[in-house]
Amino acid sequence: MMQPARDFLASRFGGRRDPVEYCATIVVRSAVTKLDALAIVALAVDAPVQQQRTTRPYVDLAEGAWVEIEIPKFGEPPPLAIDVYSTVSDDHARLQALTLLATLEAYTGWSIRPDFTV
List, run by run, the mean pLDDT of 10-residue segments along the chain (118 residues). Answer: 43 52 92 88 96 92 90 68 94 97 94 93
Provide the pLDDT for residue 20: 78
Enter the pTM of the model. 0.79
Provide the pLDDT for residue 76: 62
Q: Which residues contact 82 (CB under 8 A, 6 or more apart)?
A: 25, 26, 27, 28, 37, 41, 67, 68, 69, 70, 97, 100, 104, 112
Provide the pLDDT for residue 73: 66
